[in-house]
Amino acid sequence: GAVVSQHPSWVICKSGTSVKIECRSLDFQATTMFWYRQFPKQSLMLMATSNEGSKATYEQGVEKDKFLINHASLTLSTLTVTSAHPEDSSFYICSAASGPLGEQFFGPGTRLTVL
């Protein structure tokens, strides 16, 4: 149980285009999902907290107009990187919270490369 998927697993795009990443909880409902960014050989940095049916809460320094988050259902959250630039290239990981203590279950990650 508690499986989280991400799609796509990797994506290459041209500078200036937008990219959408999906995060799904496959066998449970998640009121809250999280989006992280991980640079090579570094730790995970929380970008935003996504609650179903409401606006996402962004961490300090994260541009909400650049990283659009939508949490339209209890099993799906999407992250759209708008007008992507090479500095947006990174590994993006989502997690979905479940259970009475809100334990997070992580997706396998999406590798974004912007040319």
Footprint of another protein (CB under 8 A):
4, 6, 31-32, 34, 41-46, 49, 51, 91, 93, 95, 97, 101-109, 111
What are the beta bridge partners of residue 94? 35
Closest approach, Cβ 23 to another protein, in A, equals 11
Residue 37 · residue 107 · CB < 8 Å? no
Tell me how far, at minimum, the Cβ of 15 lies from another protein, in Å.
23
| Residue 18 or 90 having the CB closest to another protein | 90
Q: Which is nearer to another protein, 82 or 89 (CB)?
A: 89
The answer to whether the beta carbons of residues 51 and 32 sit under 8 Å apart is yes
Task: Give CA separation, 75 vs 1, 28, 92, 109, 112, in Å.
Answer: 14, 7, 18, 16, 22
Q: Which is nearer to another protein, 32 or 75 (CB)?
A: 32
Q: Which residues contact 45 (CB under 8 A, 6 or more apart)?
A: 36, 37, 38, 59
Q: Considering the complex, what minimum distance in angstroms separates the CB of residue 109 from another protein?
A: 5
Closest CB to another protein among 59 and 63? 59
Please name every residue paired with 95 in a beta bridge, in sequence order, or none if there are none: 34, 106
> Least CB distance from residue 88 to another protein, whole Å?
18
